[in-house]
Amino acid sequence: MACFEAQLHSGLGNWLYVSVEVALWAFATNATLVLPLVLHEHFLLPREVLAPTLERRCLLVRNMQVASSNASIRRAVVARARTEFTVARRRTFATLFGRPKVPPAQRLFATAVHVRTVSDVRCASYRRIRECARACVRTAALRCVAQHAISPVLVLSDSAETSARLVRVLKGRGREVITEGALGLNATDHSALSKCAARRALGLWTAFALARRRFASGISTFSKSALLARSGARGEDFVVDSRCRRAHSSDGALFTCRPAVVGRDLV
């Protein structure tokens, strides 16, 4: 039987998106799915998902849209799953990453917020994301988050300045706030370019994913993958638009924060 191995790169969110795309291709062609050992360590994966070995030779795939952008694969997924492709895709996120292995001391938060201020594609390298020019972040978006957040609130951002701004707005509304520093982790590095970095990023991802109410960044696969993998209560998941302006005429209209909808916000 053929096997496909997800070749992971750049940020943790991209890891998870690539894994799902490869899983859909494997499902469509009745092939075996192979995922890196670090994901086996962190998630309760289905038994049929294997880990790499020196003996196992698989086709390496790193395309984030290997299934989504291929019409024949999409048709095969729909035929086998007997549902719409977007539904099958979300189910695959949940099947693979809906059950993280939670440490006994893992703190649970009522609200978790992730605000991405720069896309990694704009950086010379993913390791230089801290040095990239930051995008403008609208205060109205941060106020929208504070309006709907409930305590305690975990704040994650790749920008210390944006994190501090959001903390001030939240505290101004009487919210209890915890930043990633209190978890001993670093929200500016989701690079997952090493096993150590990946484990730190997975710790942040889990803290975000387990929160009752989640605010995902509209430009972040890191936080959007958590919403796709772990469905929250109806109306508890939001997406945040921190843009100050539309970068291109094809970009969607600006908003502040709104309930997350699959197909519109979670793609």
For residue range 54-76, what is the model confidence (pLDDT) as tens digits? 888 899 998 889 999 999 999 99
pLDDT digits (tens, 9 = 90+) for 10-36: 788 888 999 999 999 999 999 999 999
User: Could you tell me if 93 and 175 lie in one domain?
Assistant: no
Within-domain flag for 265: no
Residues 6+ apart with CB under 8 A from 57: none
Q: Where are the beta strands (DSSP E) in the chain?
A: 3-6, 32-34, 59-61, 111-115, 153-157, 177-179, 213-217, 237-240, 257-259
Residue 31, number of CB atoms within 10 A of its CB? 17
Within-domain flag for 250: yes
User: Could you tell me if 142 and 233 lie in one domain?
Assistant: yes
Per-residue DSSP letter, 245: S
- The pTM of this model reads 0.89
CB 236 within 8 A of CB 212: yes
Within-domain flag for 27: yes
Within-domain flag for 139: yes
Give the domain range for residue 80: 3-97
Higher pLDDT, 20 or 127: 20
Within-domain flag for 185: yes
In this prediction, residue 193 has a pLDDT band, given cuts at 50, 70 and 90, of low
Taking the C-alpha atoms of residue 65 and residue 53, their distance in angstroms, rounded to an integer, is: 25
- What per-residue confidence (pLDDT) applies to 5? 94
User: Could you tell me if 90 and 116 lie in one domain?
Assistant: no
pLDDT digits (tens, 9 = 90+) for 246-263: 766 667 788 899 998 877
Q: What is the CA radius of gyration of the chain?
A: 18
For the chain, how many structural domains are there in total? 2
